[in-house]
Amino acid sequence: MRHDGSWRSSLAICALLCAWAVPAVTSGAPQKPAHAKPGSAAGQADKLRQAGVAALQAHDLAGAYRALAAAYRQAPEPDTLYELGALALAEERTLQAYDLFRRYLAGPHAEGPEAEAQLTEARRVTSQPQPEAGELSVLGDVGALLTVDNRLVGSLPLPARSLLSPGPHQVLIEKDTGRAEAPVQISPGHAVELRVSLDSGAVLSTRLPAVLLILNGNGLPPLELLPMQKSVEQAIEQERLSQFPLPLALAGAAKPADCAATQPCQLLVAERNEVEFVLVAGVSRHDDDASSGWTFSIKLLETAVGDVAVSLTHECQACDGKAASEALQQVAAQLLNQGTARPRGMVEVKSDPAGAEVLLDDRLVGVTPLRHAAWAGPHNLMARAAGYRPRRSSLLVPEAAVATLSLSLAPEPEPAPAALQVLATTTPTLGLAHPREPRPRWRLTLGGALLGGGLVTVGFGAGAAAINGSCIMPPMNAGQACSSFYATQGVAGALLGVGASMTIAGVILLAVPGSR
């Protein structure tokens, strides 16, 4: 979204260009239109209205519209406007009924039991959540009739802007002096203003800047906060702006309701809904007595700039609720007038390398290449990027013009090599880091005994093996044969086995080191 702050001057120029074609554009509080019809025409209008009411009661909706539309054309009375709203309600045209009843309440109306009943019903309908809609404001000849999509809407000047469903519409403004017709595109939450010349048939269409209203009642009961909200809404319309509904804005930005409590989120929601301004108003009562006094804290944010345009605090001493509402409307109108007219320009920043973050007055506004709205006047700017030295500069933003700046970022110097550090080393102890305990004495004693006994036993076994099969008693005579021999093979094997086992056990007991 882009907003260059020149919309007011543009509208003023357009108004001057069209002034020759708009003989009577009204402003101020709505007034009951004066009628040039004679009394008989007014009487005829009343008969048509009664016929329309009868047709509506008989559920002849087409006949009711013909009669009521004819009655309104004869004499645009508030009673007929109310009946047109009742007809729209019967036709289940909820938005049109809401719009007609809303304008009926905003305009003059008669007194008496019938008027009270009408007011009660109109208030009941308009107390419901407003259907999604945009607004249409028409400035033209007093008494001209406004028709939208072949349905009568009202007589100029409208006491309040007309609500239309989003999308394309065909608008007709007509009077005995001429007529003008034009298509109009309505967006949700936004307002379109038409300036009409019936003499030439020219229609100038302008989309009015939108304001997102965030009202904080600081615990006030809803019935006390509602008049305050209406006052701020009237100030918004008085300054030729449109109010963008907060629930619609949050839904469009996919943000929760508590998001509206922080300024960054307020600006984000406004940007995503193409809303030019955010009006944040805080209302607090000094104590429980409604006449003790009130404090208003208000600020206006400019979405394109991303900053506060103007803020103020106002004390309304010894004010009751009605006086506080009137004071709030004046304060809000003053703030809107000052904030929307604050001079602004554009900042255009390029950098080498591209992609550097840009901070304007210590506020991050984007990355290069950058084009961003800024208040007219001096600013401090900094560009920074990873691996590069930040670059600071000052610049002067001219009103309704562009301040350009090109920056080259120097790389960060290479870090100095780290000083070598000599680390103390120790010689490994080859497994002796944890010295072993000496071998127990019993192991040394037993191991030595087993080793010695084993060797002796092996010796006996070897001796037994050596004499196995030899003659026990050699013969006395040389030719005589030996009669008996040694049979020590089994004994030798046993002695050798036992001796070897004892020897091995002794060696193990002596060789295995002690525990750590």
Give yes or no for residue 516 having a pLDDT over 80: no
Contacts of 270 (CB under 8 A, 6+ apart): 212, 244, 249, 276, 277, 278, 301, 303
Q: 212-339: what fold?
A: Rossmann fold (3.40.50)
| Average pLDDT of span 302-319 | 94
Full-prediction pTM beyond 0.85?
Answer: no
Query: Mean pLDDT lowest for which of 17-21, 199-203, 211-215, 226-230?
Result: 17-21
CA pair distance 374, 343, nearest whole angstrom: 9
Task: Dump pLDDT digits (tens) for 333-350.
Answer: 999 999 999 999 999 999
Question: Is the pLDDT confidence value at 108 over 90?
Answer: no
| pLDDT, average across residues 398-424 | 83
pLDDT at 12: 40
pLDDT at position 414, please?
82
CATH fold, domain 344-408, is Immunoglobulin-like (2.60.40)
- pLDDT value of position 371: 97
pLDDT of 171 > 90? The answer is yes
For the chain, the structural domain boundaries read 212-339, 344-408, 441-511
Helix or strand or coil: residue 158? Answer: coil
Give 47-78 pLDDT, tens digit per residue. 999 999 999 999 999 999 999 999 999 999 99
What pLDDT digit, counting tens, does each position of 466-497 carry?
777 777 777 666 666 777 777 777 887 888 88
End-to-end alpha carbon distance in the chain: 80
3-state secondary structure of 87: helix
Q: Which pLDDT score is estimated for 441?
A: 78
**What's the mean pLDDT in 307-329?**
92
| Three-class SS of 334-376 | HHHHHHHCCCEEEEEEEEECCCCEEEECCEEEEECCEEEEEEC
Q: Does residue 103 register a pLDDT over 70? A: yes
- The rounded distance, in Å, linking the Cα atoms of 400 and 397 is 9
**120: its two tokens:** 């009660």
| pLDDT class of 4 with cuts at 50, 70, 90 | very low
- Read off the pLDDT band of 19 (50, 70, 90): very low
Measured CA to CA, the distance from residue 152 to residue 70 in angstroms comes to: 10
For 426-452, what is each residue's pLDDT tens digit?
555 544 455 677 777 777 788 788 788
- Span 111-127, pLDDT tens digits: 889 889 999 999 999 99
Q: What is the pLDDT of residue 419?
A: 65
